[in-house]
Chains A and B, each alone.
Chain A
Amino acid sequence: MHDRTDPHPPATHWGGGVSPVGTGWRKLMMWWFIITDGLLFAGFLAAYGFLRLAAGSWPERAQMFHLEFIALMTFTLITSSATMATAVGAAQLGNRKLALRFLLLTLLGGTAFLLMQAYEWSTLITAGATLTQNPWGPPAFGACFFLITGFHGTHVLTGLIILAITAVRTARGITQAEGIEMAGLYWHFVDLVWVFIFTLFYLV
C-alpha cells in the first residue's frame, strides 16, 4: 500500500541492511547497552537528588570525605581512560604490542581505582556508615552512597574482567581491533559515569 504521492519511494527506505547507522552490529549493541545502563545510573542519581532535597539537611562532605584522595581516584580513572583510548588507537593502526601495553596500563589503573574505592568504603564503614545508618546525619546518605558507588564499583570490576580477557586474547592474537574498541567503549562509559558521581556526590 504505497502512497503514490510519497516523496520518498520505497527504494530509498532502509531495507534491513547490515549497517543502518553506519556501524557494525557489535558496536551498535554496545551503544544500546551503554544507553540503557546510563539511564539506570540516571535513575539512581535522580533518586539521590530527590532524597537529598527531601532530607532537608545533608552531611558536610568535609566531614566524610578526603577530597585529595577522591581527586587521586578521579585522576587514576581519567588516566586509565586515556590509556584505553591509546590502546584502541594502536589496535586500529595494527600495532598489537603497543595496544597490549596500553591495555595492561588500563588494567593497572582500574585495579588501583578499585582498591582505592575499597579503602574509602572501609573508612566510612569503620566510622559507622552503613546502608541504613549515617553517623553524620540523614540515613539516606548511606543508602545513596553505597548503592551508587557500589553499582559503579561493580561496573569497574566487570570492566577489569573484560580488560583482562581482552588483554590475554590480544596477546594470543585472537582479539582484533574491533574487540579492543568494544572493551574501550565499556571502559570509557565507566569513566563517564564517574564524572557524574564525582560532581554530584563529592563536589555539590
Chain B
Amino acid sequence: MKFKMYWGTWLFLLALTLAMLFVGGGTARLALLALLLVAMMVKAVLIGANFMHLRSEHRVLVWMVAAGLLFVGLALFAGIAPDGIRAFTLRG
C-alpha cells in the first residue's frame, strides 16, 4: 500500500515534469512563468509530503519545516525582488 503511494507519486512527478518541459517552450511569458512556478511548488510539496513523510509527521514538525523553509524562503525572494525589478527597469 505504502509502495503504491511512492510509485504513484513518482508517476505524477514524472508527468508534471514532462508537462513542464512541453509548455516550457511557449511564448506567453508571464502566464507561463506563473504556471511553471506553481508546478514547481506542487512537485516540492509532493516530495515533502509523500517521500519525506511529512504528511504523517507531528503537526508541529510540519509547521516548523513550512515556516522555516517556505515562509522565510518566500520572504527572502520578496525582499530581493523589488530591487531586481528596479534594476531590470533601469536597464530597459
List A residues at the B interface (Cβ < 8 Å): 20-23, 28, 31, 34-35, 38-39, 42-43, 46-47, 49-50, 52-56, 67, 71, 74-75, 78-79, 81-82, 84-86, 89, 92-93, 184-185, 188-189, 191-192, 195-196, 198-200, 202-204
Instruction: Tell me whether A54 and B84 are in contact in the complex, defined as CB-CB below 8 angstroms, given that A31-B61, A67-B24 are known contacts.
Output: yes
The contact of A71 among B2, B17, B33, B76, by CB within 8 Å, is B17
Contact across chains for A191 and B47 when beta carbons are under 8 A apart: yes
Give A82's nearest chain B residue, CB to CB.
B10
Lowest 5 A-B CB distances belong to which pairs? A22-B58, A82-B10, A53-B84, A54-B87, A35-B68
Contact across chains for B3 and A75 when beta carbons are under 8 A apart: no
Of residues 58 to 75 in B, which have CB atoms within 8 Å of A's CB atoms? Answer: 58, 60-61, 64-65, 68-69, 72-73
* CA A85 to CA B20, docked complex, whole Å: 24
User: What are some 16 contacts across the A-B interface (CB < 8 A)?
Assistant: A20-B60, A21-B57, A22-B58, A22-B61, A23-B61, A31-B61, A35-B65, A35-B68, A35-B69, A46-B77, A49-B81, A54-B84, A82-B51, A85-B50, A192-B44, A200-B40
Interface of B is mostly: helix
Contact across chains for A39 and B68 when beta carbons are under 8 A apart: yes
Give chain A residues whose Cβ lies under 8 Å from the Cβ of B77.
42, 46, 49
Give chain B residues whose Cβ lies under 8 Å from the Cβ of A54.
84, 87-88, 91
Interface of A is mostly: helix
* CA A31 to CA B10, docked complex, whole Å: 22
Contact across chains for B17 and A50 when beta carbons are under 8 A apart: no
* CA A86 to CA B5, docked complex, whole Å: 10
Q: How many residues of B are in contact with the other chain, CB < 8 A?
A: 46
Give chain A residues whose Cβ lies under 8 Å from the Cβ of B80.
46-47, 49-50
The contact of A38 among B33, B69, B91, by CB within 8 Å, is B69
* CA A199 to CA B48, docked complex, whole Å: 17
Contact across chains for A86 and B40 when beta carbons are under 8 A apart: no
- The minimal Cβ–Cβ distance linking B77 to chain A, given in whole angstroms, is 5
Contact across chains for B58 and A199 when beta carbons are under 8 A apart: no
Contact across chains for A75 and B17 when beta carbons are under 8 A apart: yes
Contact across chains for B52 and A185 when beta carbons are under 8 A apart: yes
Give chain B residues whose Cβ lies under 8 Å from the Cβ of A189.
52
Give chain A residues whose Cβ lies under 8 Å from the Cβ of B69.
34-35, 38-39, 42
* CA A86 to CA B24, docked complex, whole Å: 31
The contact of A195 among B3, B47, B72, by CB within 8 Å, is B47
Give chain B residues whose Cβ lies under 8 Å from the Cβ of A195.
40, 43-44, 47
Instruction: Tell me whether A50 and B68 are in contact in the complex, defined as CB-CB below 8 angstroms, given that A71-B17, A75-B17, A78-B14 are known contacts.
Output: no
